[in-house]
Amino acid sequence: MEATLSNELNVLALIKGQERYIFIYDDDSRAQLLDTIQEYAGDAGMNFSWFDAMVLSSKAREQEEAEATPAPRGRL
């Protein structure tokens, strides 16, 4: 039996010096992603600022809007 994905996967990445924050999520997990980003920003033990959270949250919303907008048709 072959597994199929009902949603495409989205990727957000943030590189801060030697640190790498990579988030892979599907459309159904976007709210959980935004919650996680906020938790990271509120954790004083992490080098993840509220500015980082704002940038990544904005990118996640841009991805959502891009998925909702049909791609323009090219000429053949």
Which helix H or strand E contains 41, and what residues bound it? helix 30-42
Q: Residue 41: which domain range? A: 27-64
Measure the CA–CA gap between 61 and 70, rounded to whole angstroms: 16
What 3-state DSSP class applies to 6? coil
Q: Is residue 70 part of a domain?
A: no
Measure the CA–CA gap between 57 and 59, rounded to whole angstroms: 5
Q: Quick one: pLDDT at residue 76?
A: 60
What's the whole-number mean pLDDT along residues 3-32? 88
Count of structural domains, the chain = 1
Q: Is residue 36 part of a domain?
A: yes
pTM of the model: 0.76
